[in-house]
Structure 1
């Protein structure tokens, strides 16, 4: 039985093929192709993204790219200040600048498929910019969803198709009656040691998280000393007052490693987000910390009320807070009250 491992660093040809963007070659100077492609990539997160001559919305538009195109990022710079977007921009290849919030940093890390999967399911993350989920283990079958880098999913079976390609069966908490199949080399199954609780010896009452809405920042404390902080995106009350993240003192009450999120109230907008990673609910109105793969605008209001984090930051919060999660549990309720959360 094989364990998930990094198969290889992809080549320039692999990069161009995966992104589906042959014109990307024009954005890369030859001496830096390998390093840029290996570690500095980003996916266009929505619609048509404009690239500007300078890091400013008032600068000349030089081109545009479409959702899910994968682009080389060569630098992060300070640009024109914008209260809604922030000041950080990415330099896209050698062609121009796009705002950081429009691009999700990604990697392309193909995995060795493994059959070391619990019969009840194992948690996996997408390790490439995106992977399509199909109705059966065949790319000729209907495509049901597209899963994005950093999203998490429960897998419970490995099979090979008639061509010898490996596929994982993915469970969906919203639609458990319908199977979903994805190419196995594009998901990384977490070993149990990577899902171990963080600081389990610290008494629960000595842990707390403070979320500062004005600063769009969160800080975790142990014994009143900060041990972790990260930018966040809380409720976008300017778009809809109902999106306001509520202030007050709360307790983490429910956690799950992956959740398919849909609006429970049509007035909260229209979205369909499978595999939302590392969810930790702290109000009875379903406000939660969780990872967000659909934007990179952390540090500015953005959400429908939850506290959005980069997926790697959300995983830290998930593993550090109580209730402690067993790696094989789909969800876990707090029996006596979880970690204190103070929103100010």
Structure 2
């Protein structure tokens, strides 16, 4: 029941990230609809091409074996199962490991029902499986085997978790090594980030002095002012906390959000506005968020490694309001 699915055999795959999406005959919103795919369907990602999507910044489509899908609704994933570990690593006082989901999705069993988070509660109420997704970052604190030889990891969240703990097939998770989170150019002076939030200009630049060293498309807040702007003449917001992974939630019961396992989180304003990895959409270059700066997982990870403060690998957390360390500043502009 909980073995990994037989995903399509292709190096690059796409997961449908919306309730349903239309398959088009051509990379054109007005072309003939040749089919419909539903949420979490996984298809081969043949190539990306520029097409026609009226009234949107994003004009990219993905060609699949069945037709064309607007890229904002198709999340790039891979199917990379792992060799399970049979014992947890221990470093200092920490017994456990940080892991990344490396398959399109994996279903899990709740260890301590009922579900506490709105995300899992909603799925249970609607008869949906408890599911984890490609690129989520989680913590494993137990390993067990069953009578069929299946190895299971108990996965949870160290920060922001309302209490849910899940058992899932170990093959779905890649242990993260400390070396892959080594700081990038930590000696560089005057590091700073500029985020531009105009509807037609959703972008982020990392600078060392006046030299741009990294650039990516991002998605900021949909509502006007939801992503806070830096004060005119200020140096920007300091990153006040960084975490390997965070369960993020907010809003109201009817207009809220609740998302587990958000990786490479750099908080810079209030209690929850952050630059972070985004595994639930692929529409970068357009406003999509409740106020955070959504970034592709690989972009968020690079930014996380490049910015200050440096995060201890074992704990996966650095709060400068506690440690007193200096941090990189983020300037949010609408100009």
Scaled by the length of structure 1, what TM-score is found?
0.82
Structure 2: which 5+ residue stretches go unaligned?
Answer: 113-123
Question: Aligned match of 2:44 in 52, 68, 72?
Answer: 72
Higher helix share: 1
Tell me the distance in 1 between the aligned counterparts of 2:273 and 2:258.
17
Match of 2:249 among 251, 262, 276: 262
Q: Which residue pairs with 1:106 in the alignment?
A: 77
- Superposition pairs of residues 1-344 of structure 1, within 5 angstroms: 18-19=6-7, 37-84=9-56, 86-93=58-65, 95-114=66-85, 115-118=87-90, 119-136=94-111, 145-172=130-157, 173-175=159-161, 177-203=163-189, 206-214=190-198, 215-237=201-223, 241=224, 243-248=226-231, 249-263=236-250, 265-266=251-252, 269-334=255-320, 335-344=324-333
Q: 1:207 to 1:200 in 2, by over 3 A?
A: same
Contact 1:209 / 1:219 at 8 angstroms: preserved in 2? yes
Distance 1:144 1:71, change over 3 A: closer
Alpha carbons of 1:85 and 1:160: their partners in 2 closer, same or farther (altered >3 Å)? Answer: farther
RMSD of aligned C-alpha atoms?
Answer: 2.3
CA contact (8 A) 1:245 1:306 kept: no
Q: 1:216 Cα deviation (Å)? A: 0.6
Deviation string, structure 1 residues 214-239 (Cα, Å, up to 9, x no partner): 311111011321111111000012xx
The number of residue pairs the alignment matches comes to: 303
TM-score w.r.t. length of structure 2: 0.84
Task: State the distance in 2 between where 1:86 and 1:66 align.
Answer: 21
Q: Is the 8 A contact 1:135 1:144 kept in 2?
A: no
SS at match of 2:14: strand
For 2:254 and 2:332, locate their aligned partners in 1 and report how far apart those are by CA, in whole Å.
21
Asked whether the equivalents of residues 117 and 157 of structure 1 are also in contact (C-alpha less than 8 Å), the reply is: no
SS at match of 1:50: strand
Structure 1: gaps of 5 or more residues: 1-13, 25-36
Q: Please report how far the alpha carbon of residue 38 of structure 1 lies from its aligned counterpart in structure 2 after TM superposition.
A: 3.1
